[in-house]
Structure 1
Amino acid sequence: MTGTAVEAEIRKFGALADRWWDPDGPMRPLHRMNPLRTGWIADRIARAHGRTGRDLSGLTLLDVGCGAGLASEAFARMGARVTGLDAAGEALEAARAHGAAGGLEIAYREGTPEDLAPTNETYDAVVALEVIEHVEDRAAFLGALAALAKPGGQVFLSTLNRTARSFLMAKVGAEYVLRMLPVGTHDWRMFVTPGELGAGLRRAGLAVTDLAGMTMDPLTGRWRETRDLGVNYLVAARRD
């Protein structure tokens, strides 16, 4: 395997494969966040193709760092032709089994975006959700995402801002106090500010088109779109 994937990160998330689809398990925050982030992305893909609602019928989408397929399945149900890509083989096994049980046709592949870039495959949309904060070489990673988008295609990321508040909420609070995530899930030093991410996307040949914050209601556990980028946020970009 080549590219920007960190072996320790691959092993860490591969070990969670058998519990990935448990809504109350270690991936509970992603289960709760998923409707917001996939809906936000689908709205913008559909709009770019002159469609209303979240109709992604026939459009090609690459889900980078797909894990066991939470986002891949959501996009497939909206009609997209989804390819899920991940470096953790155990997670992909769980993804294939769950997708097959739900009657979904999703092409799951093991590897990194750098592995795919030389094939000249391109997609209408490329998404990488909660991935870049686990990546070793951000510039190479973003360059590969850009190469995998069609000319005029879109690239979407969601990640964590590197702020004092994100350290308290997403690292200390989520992992040690509330136990929402396994201890060691995140390294706060690898969190990415919007400015850093925007600059990296521009260097990769992508133009940022939208930004939004994601905020969780601590009483209900529901996530909503906000203007607050201080902890979790989404980015949309376009390849010229």
Structure 2
Amino acid sequence: MTQMGNMAGGGGGSADGAEVAKFDALASDWWNPRGPMAPLHAMNPVRMGWIAERLGNLQGLRILDVGCGAGLASEWLAREGAVVTGLDAAGAALEAARAHAAASGLSIDYREGMPEDLAGGGYDAVIVLEVIEHVPPSQRAAFCASLARLAKPGGLVALSTLNRTRRSWLFAILGAEHLLRWLPRGTHDWKQFLLPSELGALLRGAGLAVTDTAGMLPGLGGGFRIGRDMAVNYLMAARKPG
């Protein structure tokens, strides 16, 4: 399941043209809760609730949504009063995001690009949802360093991603892409999934202190819930010293 359009792989920073095109092609269906992004629609309330618990009152907080896609997380944050910047490398997805935000009466600063190219910083939180599994291993350390740079001292960096386990292959690849066809085949590469220990090491290598982890588990009625089992989808939060 992926949030974005996407910051993955290749010669120009952390964005890969083929990966960007893949998610651009889904732009028109992004806001369809029964379309290719249905798993994200089901997951969004619980992952955003978990992040919000670690931030407290969101009113007025400056939050950067890296790999924002068409804006599912960005709009949730904006409705809670945050000042949101959405960043993605996929132009068509961003156009869908801007159109949906305008129709919803929300003010969100959507920008095309990659975190390593974004000037400034000082964000209260940087969120990176279903993104880092699309960043090639050789570029992940620099990617995480960019996330740390963009957060203010004491700021939060929160990620959600997929674990590299047999169960994640069964659920995310065989189940979601091949059997249930929730996602187009080839959306994910299981070999690119990260163990929590690997993600934690990347964040600590970027100078961040890991503070919380949690699993996201399918719940009754088709939604998700927070739990201890991180074998498939999981969340990780870290703080920038300061």
TM-score by length of 1: 0.94
Are residue 10 (structure 1) and residue 20 (structure 2) matched?
Answer: yes
What is the correspondence of 1:130-141 to structure 2 with a 5 Å cutoff? 130-136=130-136, 137-141=139-143
Question: Following superposition, which runs of at least 4 residues in structure 1 exceed 3 angstroms of deviation?
Answer: none
Shift of 1:9: 1.2
Structure 2 stretches lacking a partner, 5+ long: 1-10
**1:32-181 pair list within 5 angstroms:** 32-46=42-56, 55-116=57-118, 119-136=119-136, 137-181=139-183
What amino acid is the match of 2:228? R
> Which residue does the alignment assign to 2:7?
none
1:153, CA displacement in angstroms?
Answer: 0.4
Tell me the equivalent position of 2:5. Answer: none
Q: Spell out, residue by residue over 1:133-155, the C-alpha distance to the aligned partner (whole angstroms, 9 max, x if none).
A: 01121111101000000011000
Structure 1: state its 5+ residue gaps. 47-54
Displacement after TM superposition at 1:173 (Å):
0.7
CA distance in 2: counterparts of 1:110 and 1:38, whole angstroms = 23
Spell out, residue by residue over 1:143-170, the C-alpha distance to the aligned partner (whole angstroms, 9 max, x if none).
1000000011000000000001101111
Give the distance between the partners of 2:16 and 2:130, measured in 1 at CA.
14
Q: CA deviation at 1:122?
A: 2.1
User: Kindly, what percent of the aligned residue pairs are identical?
Assistant: 66
Q: Determine if the alignment matches structure 1 residue 21 to structure 2 residue 23.
A: no
Deviation at 1:222, TM superposition (A): 1.1
The answer as to whether partners of 1:20 and 1:26 remain within 8 angstroms in 2 is yes
* Cα separation, 1, equivalents of 2:124 and 2:24: 28
Say what the alpha-carbon RMSD is for the aligned residues.
1.0
Q: How big is each residue's C-alpha offset from its partner over 1:87-138, in whole Å with a ceiling of 9 and x where there is no partner?
A: 000000000000000000000000000111xx23220000000000011211
Provide the rounded CA distance (Å) in 2 between the counterparts of 1:165 and 1:7. Answer: 30
2:233 is matched by which residue type in structure 1? Answer: N
Count of paired positions = 229
Residues 83, 106 of structure 1: 8 Å contact kept: yes
Judge conservation of contact 1:6–1:134 (CA < 8 Å) in 2: no
Aligned to 1:229: 230
SS at structure 2 position matched to 1:220: helix
